[in-house]
């Protein structure tokens, strides 16, 4: 059984790691007096404050120490504290898929709100040993003078029930590849469940989704969680291959097959024999190449350009597209027989604006990655996001999805002086590429200078000017375009907005 200690890092802990500190502090006392297999710490201080403490603590225990940043609006933000603790606990349970870990919650580090959340979780949803530490009494298990209501008992059974459900559904244990897909939203959970189930099979998969939603990341997770994981993974973007080289690139060619073919070339399917071929933007594939691809799926054979001999190949195809292949098929741009061969499973990755619950997790994970990538750059200071910046990120539309989120964080981190990315810094790092202007208008964050009268005035002026331009300044036509009962009403609105005298 794996013994896991969980605790928040408190100010007293940070002070205990400083020269001249009086005693080892709350966490130092626990790890010195108790043995654990892993130590999981949560914190909401800046990374530079915590890094020295982690190094100090690591010298006092043989267990690996991991620390995870969670932003809190205040030290008594119960909702955020609870969400952070549950997120970490659920992740650990998934990682320890073979058996339930033995949890110990340390109560003495952090605020009273943090202590209260540990007590509730340790006695309800996540069964755990509770520990306190103090200079006077050392490390002890507190005696609670109350019982938790029986209303919580169903939660105690939730995790074992989830494990039984996973086993009965034939799902494999979680793999590191799927854990790289950061999520907690129900939509993404359904996607991952389908992908984990299909990973064990040979059937082809179509992944649909907007640009930047992580289609290749999901394809790699399927491959490396499958029986083919020791085979090659070959990725090709069908839209990036010149039209006259598509067949050669995918299926290979013989020497002399065409002008410039100075040597025999093995195509993607030959190279990936025994593994997986990921065809991104499959909708861009020319119809002639679609015919040959159909043969690969139907017969398991490829024929190089310039050859009459077929070669046997054993590959799994995962295709991806930012279009709807059903629409492309109906428009005659994609073969119906190929679609049905590819569509062993069709899974749609939701855009980031439809999985806003995942944005806080993604922000934490990606900013950690950005800080690590930039730490060797001269003068770089590790960054944290302000609460206002995090709120703005959660409500922004993200037309470029997860890829845009990462790029924005990278720009903000590089160009923000100091250690804190404020709202203005974050907004300056955004690029004006929103493809959903009308929806974005409805999703603007409140506060921070937001003014509904000003916004309505801007919208009215925009459409009044546009109506007059499109009507060639003809008042009657402009009134019809804008839906006014008469041109006189339009005239009054124009005067009100200073657009007509």
Phi/psi for 492 (5° steps) reads: -65, -40
| Rounded Cα gap, residues 91 and 85, in angstroms | 10
Is the full-model pTM beyond 0.75? Answer: no
Give the span between the Cα atoms of 242 and 249, in whole angstroms. Answer: 9
Of 92, 87, 15, nearest to 56 by C-alpha is 15
The stretch 221-234 carries a mean pLDDT of 94
pLDDT of residue 98: 61
Is the confidence at residue 439, as pLDDT, over 60? no
Check whether 434 has a pLDDT greater than 60.
no
Q: How confident is the model at residue 436 (pLDDT cuts 50, 70, 90)?
A: very low
pLDDT interval class at 164 (50, 70, 90): very low
Q: CATH classification of 452-496, choosing from 3.90.220, 1.10.10, 1.10.3470, 2.130.10? A: 1.10.10
Yes or no: say if 226 and 178 are a contact pair by the CB < 8 Å rule.
no
Please state the domain extents for the chain. 3-161, 176-348, 353-442, 452-496
Structure tokens at 251: 């299926």
Question: What is the helix (H) or strand (E) element at residue 401, kind and residue range?
Answer: helix 401-415
User: Are the C-beta atoms of 105 and 122 separated by less than 8 Å?
Assistant: yes
Alpha-carbon distance 348 to 459, whole Å?
Answer: 34
What percentage of the chain exceeds 70 in pLDDT? 89
**Whether the predicted pLDDT of 172 surpasses 80:** no
When pLDDT is averaged across residues 260-288 and rounded to a whole number, the result is: 94
Do 3-161 and 176-348 have matching folds?
Answer: yes
Q: Which fold has domain 353-442?
A: Helicase, Ruva Protein; domain 3 (1.10.8)
CATH 3.40.50.300, applies to 176-348: yes
Least confident of 153-162, 421-430, 432-441: 153-162
Candidate from 155-164, 231-240, 344-353, 490-499 with smallest mean pLDDT: 155-164
Q: What is the pLDDT of residue 441?
A: 62
| CATH hierarchy code of domain 3-161 | 3.40.50.10770
């Amino acid at each position: 059984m794996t013994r896991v200690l969980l605790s928040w890092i408190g100010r007293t802990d940070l002070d205990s790691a400083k020269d001249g500190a009086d005693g080892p502090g709350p966490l130092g006392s626990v790890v010195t007096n108790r043995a654990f297999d892993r130590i999981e710490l949560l914190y909401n201080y800046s990374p530079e404050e915590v890094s020295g403490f982690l190094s100090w603590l690591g010298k006092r225990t043989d267990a690996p120490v991991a620390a995870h940043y969670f932003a809190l609006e205040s030290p008594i933000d119960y909702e955020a504290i609870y969400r952070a603790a549950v997120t970490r606990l659920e992740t650990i349970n998934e990682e320890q898929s073979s058996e339930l870990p033995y949890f110990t919650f340390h109560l003495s580090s952090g605020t009273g709100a943090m202590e209260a959340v540990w007590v509730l979780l340790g006695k309800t949803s996540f069964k755990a040993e509770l520990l306190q530490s103090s200079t006077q009494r050392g490390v002890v298990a507190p005696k609670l003078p109350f019982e938790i209501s029986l209303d919580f008992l169903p939660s105690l059974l939730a995790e074992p029930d989830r494990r039984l459900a996973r086993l009965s559904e034939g799902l494999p244990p979680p793999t590191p590849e799927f854990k790289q897909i950061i999520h907690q939203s129900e939509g993404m959970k359904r996607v991952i469940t389908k992908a984990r189930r299909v990973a064990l099979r040979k059937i082809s998969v179509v992944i649909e989704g907007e640009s930047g939603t992580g289609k290749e990341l999901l394809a790699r997770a399927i491959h490396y969680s499958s029986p083919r994981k020791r085979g090659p993974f070959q990725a090709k973007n069908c839209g990036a291959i010149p039209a006259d080289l598509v067949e050669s690139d995918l299926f290979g060619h013989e020497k002399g097959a065409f002008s410039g073919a100075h040597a025999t070339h093995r195509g993607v399917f030959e190279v990936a024999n025994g593994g997986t071929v990921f065809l991104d933007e499959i909708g861009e594939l020319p119809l002639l190449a679609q015919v040959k691809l159909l043969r690969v799926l139907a017969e398991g054979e490829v024929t190089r350009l310039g050859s009459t001999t077929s070669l046997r190949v054993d590959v799994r195809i995962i295709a991806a597209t930012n279009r709807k292949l059903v629409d492309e098929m109906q428009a005659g741009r994609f073969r119906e027989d190929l679609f049905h061969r590819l569509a062993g499973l069709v899974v749609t990755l939701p855009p980031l604006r439809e999985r806003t619950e995942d944005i806080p997790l993604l922000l934490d994970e990606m900013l950690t990655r950005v800080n690590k990538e930039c730490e060797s750059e001269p003068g770089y200071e590790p960054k944290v996001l302000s609460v206002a910046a995090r709120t703005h990120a959660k409500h922004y539309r993200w037309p470029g999805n997860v890829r845009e989120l990462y790029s924005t964080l990278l720009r903000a981190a590089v160009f923000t002086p100091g250690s804190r990315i404020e709202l203005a810094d974050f907004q300056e790092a955004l690029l004006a590429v929103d493809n959903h202007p009308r929806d974005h208008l409805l999703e603007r964050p409140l506060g921070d200078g937001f003014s509904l009268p000003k916004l309505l005035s801007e919208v009215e002026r925009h459409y009044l000017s546009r109506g007059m331009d499109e009507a060639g300044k003809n008042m009657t036509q402009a009134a019809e375009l804008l839906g006014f009962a008469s041109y006189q009403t339009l005239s009054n609105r124009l005067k009100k907005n200073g657009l007509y005298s």
